[in-house]
Amino acid sequence: MQSDYTGHITTSEWRWVIIISVILALLAFMPFLWVLIVGINDSQWRFMGALHDYQNSAVYLSMMQQGTDGDLLMRYLHTPEAHSGAFLEPLYTLLGQLSRIPTFSPILMFHVARVVASVFMYLAIYQLASHIWTRTRTRRIFFTFVAVASGVGWIAVPLTQSLGYIDLQSPYAYPFFTSLTNVHLPLAVALVALLASMIILIFRPGETALPTVSNGGTMVFVGVLLLTLLYPFAYMPLITAFLVNLIIYWLDHRKITSPHLNWLLLFILPAVPILAYNALVFESNPIIQEIWRQQSALPPSPILLLLGVLIPFVIALPGLYRAIRRFNRDGDQFMFIWLLAMIAWVYLPVAGQDHFLLGLMLPLGYFATRSIVDFWFGFMKRMWQMRVFAAMLPIIGTSHLFVLLIPLYPIAIEPEANGESGILLQSDYIGAFTWLNGVNNSDHMVVLASPNTSLWLPVWTNAHVVYGHPTITTQPIFKRQGVIKWYQVVNTQQCDDRLLRGGYSFRSNQYTVTYVLFGPQEARLGMGACTALLRAVARFGDVWIYIYP
């Protein structure tokens, strides 16, 4: 009979983890398949390629489009101002390069990569569990809890008639939620889990080994390098926790060992050039600087943060109490400090806020698992322990069901709202996008269209738009109002071409509109009388393309 205790991950364990990981990844993909297969019966509409966090997904897809066109440096196409490219979000331009393989569209590559990244994330989470516990049952409890747990937003929604809860809106703390959104977040969670597993080993009592290729030194170097490239927000709490652990070790022993210093260098040196380059881009590129500045927001209120993790937090309380009382170096110390570091970074006066919560469920799930195994199971007979745990999973994970299905509401329940959702566009726009892509022979073609149209236009054309995104467009409120006002004009005598000739630039006259679209999406805004002063150059069904000047 196979023992329930093992110092390594057995073949049967990997088989179990892979099966569960694939099931979770496919579950996250099911709404997308539903839309493709049965969600749209009217050929008038075209699904644009993303459901969850679709506005940001359009930005990532536009980066992939740039990669498809051979670019390695990324530009923000959802703002009209010209700016130089930068080596930012290289994952997406690389995926765009890979999507040049025949039969692979950028959208297909995006979702294939999303599934692969999600499976890798779940495997890394189980790898972290194996570095902490030798018992297979405990590893599986940790893995399942971290993958499934969320908050109580689903309870608060009917009471408050609001969806503004962290577990329903912010994917960073929840691994399953990250798998719904994009490629880089689940990859970042995976890297964080692997690096955390190494930190636990480094500070484990009796560990004195210098970093080498065989004991994880190379993995740390590469992991830190990739994490800072993908998501530097997750790096900051992690390195903070490492440094605090090192200080505590010095206070206890009045010395810092050579292995600890070498490991510290491996955790710092790969990040330095990436962070320095990001700072240089921020200082030298005013458009990127403004876009990054716009993405900062007020941190979530402590009450909303607590509601976002309420059930996991209550379950974890005995484990947290034990950690505070004992402050054991065998996992408790690092996980507790890491948890506090995440929360501290959220409320520091720096840009990022809830972005620093990426991977929050890892330390919280650690203490919840400690509590379940060492405290809560003590109130039950052994035969009921796993049954009760399994029965609790749907309750602690119900918010994920809400998140999974919410984007389908305007398609399945309110089909008449398709034109407003932004997830779908009328099929005629695809012909217009294809035509614009064919005539785009410059790095700075600017197109004026409605906000919904402009969100997806860069994905297909590699062209800039006047307003396309609530945070990626510079001065978004100003530009959005200008676009809507331009289409609302009913008399040509009231037409003002400032919007077309760069009058709405972040800094004076940084763009000139080349083409203007008018179709069903634009007609929702107004009559578009000003198009009478432009020259029509193409038509695709109900979508007209005009040239300016």
| pLDDT tens by residue, 20-37 | 999 999 999 888 887 777
Start-to-end CA distance of the chain, whole Å, equals 80
Residue 442, token pair as written in the block = 């410059």
Residue % of the chain over a pLDDT of 90:
64
Average pLDDT in the 63-85 region? 92
As a 3-state breakdown, the chain gives helix, strand, coil percent values, each rounded to 5, of: 65, 5, 30
Instruction: Name the band, by pLDDT with cuts 50, 70 and 90, for residue 174.
Output: very high
Rounded distance between C-alpha atoms, residue 52 and residue 408, angstroms: 10
With H, G, I as helix, E, B as strand and everything else as coil, classify residue 544. strand
| 219 alpha carbon, distance to own chain's centre | 23
The predicted pLDDT at position 279 comes to: 94
Q: 421-547, what's its fold?
A: Rossmann fold (3.40.50)
What is the residue type of 60? Y
Q: Examine the pLDDT at 1 and tell me if it is beyond 50.
A: no
Summary count for the chain: helices (H), strands (E): 26, 7
Query: Is residue 321 within 8 Å of residue 367, measured between CB atoms?
Result: no
pLDDT digits (tens, 9 = 90+) for 217-238: 999 999 999 999 999 999 999 9
Q: How far is CA 75 from the centre of its chain?
A: 19
- Tell me: pLDDT of 416 over 60: no
Summarised one tens digit per residue, pLDDT across range 386-403 is: 999 999 999 999 999 989
Confidence band of 354 (pLDDT split at 50, 70, 90): confident
Amino acid 506: pLDDT: 84
* HEC sequence for 9-64: CCHHHHHHHHHHHHHHHHHHHHHHHHHHHHHCCCCCEEECCCCCCHHHHHHHHHHH
Residue carrying the six token digits 């496919």: 26
pLDDT score of 3 more than 70: no
Ramachandran quadrant class, 425 (left: phi over 0; alpha: psi -120 to 50; beta: rest): beta
Cα–Cα distance measured from residue 325 to residue 301, given in angstroms and rounded to the nearest whole number: 28
Work out the average pLDDT over 351-355. 77
Closest by Cα among 26, 189, 51 to 107: 51
Name the token pair of 9.
């991950």
Single out the residue of 55, 45, 15, 131 nearest to residue 366, CA to CA: 131
Q: What is the pLDDT of residue 501?
A: 92
Cα dihedral sign for 518, 520, 524, 526?
Answer: positive
Tens-place pLDDT, residues 296-327: 777 888 998 999 999 999 999 999 999 888 88
Residue ranges of domains in the chain:
149-407, 421-547
**Distance between CA 67 and CA 242 in Å, rounded?**
36
Residue type, 227: L
Tokens 């969320």 map to which residue? Answer: 150
Which pTM does this prediction carry?
Answer: 0.93
What are the residue ranges of helices labelled H in 269-331? 271-284, 286-294, 302-308, 310-326
pLDDT at 312: 94
The answer to whether 299 touches 320, Cβ cutoff 8 Å, is no
Distance CA(299)–CA(285), nearest Å, equals 26
